[in-house]
């Protein structure tokens, strides 16, 4: 089985950690339930956080040895695109709509990097390619990682190879790929895969905990992600939703505990990375 640099097969990721209070809740609950969280990701976007809020998240993540990944938005769904709001055009929603949105997304990546963030979610091919070029040219930190969002579909091995060639460091796969599909992509690329074990309703609402033992074996090195079914869509989030988003964050950690318990009962010998492990894009205070 391929592994992470520390020899582990899998790592735990908690998504939709939308601000400092959510991150603090995740870290507190992870300590209480003994869940080794390696990465948290955010979906509302860099632009929905103040510099002070990002700075607080950077300090919390660095102290805990947890990678912090913020979304590089805006995108078509947040702009004037009518097509992105139509059933047939929904695939366009995560794309950068025009040069202005492309520039804005890259500006937010620069801002996040300047504040110490070393991992950004990308949902647009042009944004990914630009990030890769700027990183190669030394205009962005060499250790800044590009995490391809689930909103940029990586549904086959050829697509996975293209995205890695453009500079992707990890690939978030569609939530409904079969284990066989996931194995095909793993055979094509060496970068870590990010796979939802439980997906929010707007991404299918799948609860695939029972597949964890096989998933870890086939997809390693893999980030197992615990979203939350039967939870409201809170993007873009803000302080007006703090009580809700912190409660959702705590429950995602509990879902991760359920997954780890299942792996243990199944007799899995796969190894999980601890926080602070080599290869994590840890924030820099």
pLDDT recorded at residue 215: 97
Contacts of 275 (CB under 8 A, 6+ apart): 36, 37, 38, 64, 65, 66
DSSP string over 229-285: SS----PSP-GGGHHHHHHHHHHHHHHHHHHHHHHHHTT--PPBPPTT-TT------
Can you list the domains of the chain with their CATH numbers? 10-265 (3.20.20.70)
What burial letters (b/e) apply to 186-212, b meaning 16+ CB within 10 Å? beebebbbbbbbbbbeebbebbbbebb
118-148 pLDDT tens trace: 999 999 999 999 999 999 999 999 999 999 9
pLDDT band at 84 (very low <50, low <70, confident <90, very high): confident
76: which DSSP letter?
G
28-75 pLDDT tens trace: 999 999 999 999 999 999 999 999 999 999 999 999 999 999 999 998
Question: Is the predicted pLDDT of residue 76 greater than 70, yes or no?
Answer: yes
The answer to whether the CB of 97 falls within 8 A of the CB of 135 is: no
187-231 pLDDT tens trace: 999 999 999 999 998 888 889 999 999 999 999 999 999 999 999
Across the range 104-109, mean pLDDT stands at 97
The whole-chain average pLDDT of the chain stands at 95
Question: Is the predicted pLDDT of residue 92 greater than 80, yes or no?
Answer: no
pLDDT band at 89 (very low <50, low <70, confident <90, very high): low
């Amino acid at each position: 089985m391929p592994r992470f640099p520390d020899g582990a097969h899998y790592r735990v990721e908690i998504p939709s950690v939308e601000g400092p209070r959510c991150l603090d809740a995740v870290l507190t609950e992870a300590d209480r339930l003994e869940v080794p969280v390696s990465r948290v990701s955010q979906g509302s976007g860099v632009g929905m956080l103040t510099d002070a809020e990002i700075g607080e998240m950077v300090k919390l993540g660095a102290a805990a040895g947890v990678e912090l990944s913020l979304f590089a938005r805006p995108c078509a769904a947040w702009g004037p695109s009518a097509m992105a709001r139509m059933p047939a055009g929904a695939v366009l929603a995560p794309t950068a709509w025009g040069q202005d949105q492309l520039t804005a997304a890259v500006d937010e990546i620069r801002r996040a990097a300047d504040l110490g963030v070393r991992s950004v979610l990308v949902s647009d091919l042009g944004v990914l390619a630009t990030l890769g070029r700027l990183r190669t040219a030394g205009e962005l930190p060499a250790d800044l990682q590009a995490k391809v969002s689930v909103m940029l579909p990586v549904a086959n091995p050829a697509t996975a190879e293209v995205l890695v060639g453009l500079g992707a460091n990890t690939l978030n796969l569609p939530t409904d790929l079969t284990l066989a599909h996931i194995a095909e992509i793993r055979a094509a690329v060496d970068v870590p895969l990010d796979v939802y074990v439980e997906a929010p309703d707007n991404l299918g609402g799948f609860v695939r905990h029972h597949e964890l033992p096989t998933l870890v074996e086939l997809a390693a090195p893999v980030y197992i992600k615990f979203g939350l079914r039967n939870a409201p869509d809170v993007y873009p989030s803000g302080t007006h939703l703090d009580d809700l988003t912190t409660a959702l964050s705590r429950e995602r950690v509990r879902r991760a505990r359920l997954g780890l318990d299942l792996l243990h009962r199944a007799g899995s010998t796969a190894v999980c990375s601890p926080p602070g492990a080599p290869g994590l894009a840890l924030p820099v205070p």
